Structure 1
């Protein structure tokens, strides 16, 4: 598999819990999302598994990703917790297993070979990382036998991470964007409001269309109700080069998530 085969867009589940999570994932699958993202940290893998079981979509048609909690990144814990994730999800394997954060129990020489082992066991088709810098990516590539197919990071119009996206693209690593609409803050950006008016769209849809048009980027917006379909419909918006340049000018390097605290607060 090449990185470009990760379905676009993904559906993010951080913050979705219990039956509301199951309902949201089912709605997303009904709206033609074919990439669902969860994590041990989100405490909703069981709810995601229920949605997959109840959906009118074959398991093989859904690209399913989860992430190993930072406290589970010692080698034997990677193996044990991954098996537990599969049990909660009700699947034999996931399509992508991430290192969630390079913090806490993360030790590249100990952690990463365990991800190779999980892949060798057939419990994941692919290996990814999350919240990795260029330097951490380079280190992981040297240690892992498995190719890294994705790096999931905070990414939105105010934090565009061009150098990281470019490096990743050059190494066939997909950049999966969480917080792609800056937790809704994009609605207040005048530039996006003006572009949205020209497309009979919303600022959120314009922000997502900008992501969809970036080579090597897959956003994973969360959503509920009609927002799920609206987010998917942004795939149909074709931004001009001038509009994309205006959005590029919004980059301020503004992070919503403090890397020093994020592992415990996402």
Structure 2
């Protein structure tokens, strides 16, 4: 269900467009007393098809603001965001968003929450049922289709939110600290789940986190952000096996990457 690729002609086979990119992106917050605050400056990042990329930075560096701009929820002051060379002008179905808070409708069952975006798209009931069944299977919640959010654990609620975003089959999945509200054990379980989910779907993912270990474990590349104003300080490739277990966090090569990122954050 994630085969979004059309044949690439011989002329542009060498340089297909990035799935997501930002170009010289900047954001200024203006105040009523004419003060201005530059919160993002010259942000240039990209994601290719099927990549899992994390943005890492300290609180207040503008990570979430950048993600909101990419989602179309905020407008940049200058520069632009593109999805496959189409400039982003506002929210769109080509970007799915998962927030730290679960943002589920408490009066709707798990299946009805996942179905919400499909209803807005006008899919028939039969099509919705098929899509919902597929994505509940993907996130391992088929048995909880008729449950309500209040009956679920925090990790399960976030799985429902992820399934709802995936059901719309976005080109890019955007995630803003999706496991930040979970306890340590559940967070580790969700990291393992997310890695397996990405391996299964191969959807393109951009995730914001301040957890360095989480970013290394999940992603293929990491952008390290500095603050005041928010900027890209480093781009680090994660040269680790595709098949990852939580024990990998203790491996020397993992610790070395962590040291590299912490060094970049501190300079």
TM-score band, normalised by the shorter chain? 0.3 to 0.5
Which one has a larger percent strand, Structure 1 or Structure 2?
2
More helix by share: 1
Answer with 1 or 2: which has the greater Rg: 2
User: TM-score, normalised to structure 2's length?
Assistant: 0.40
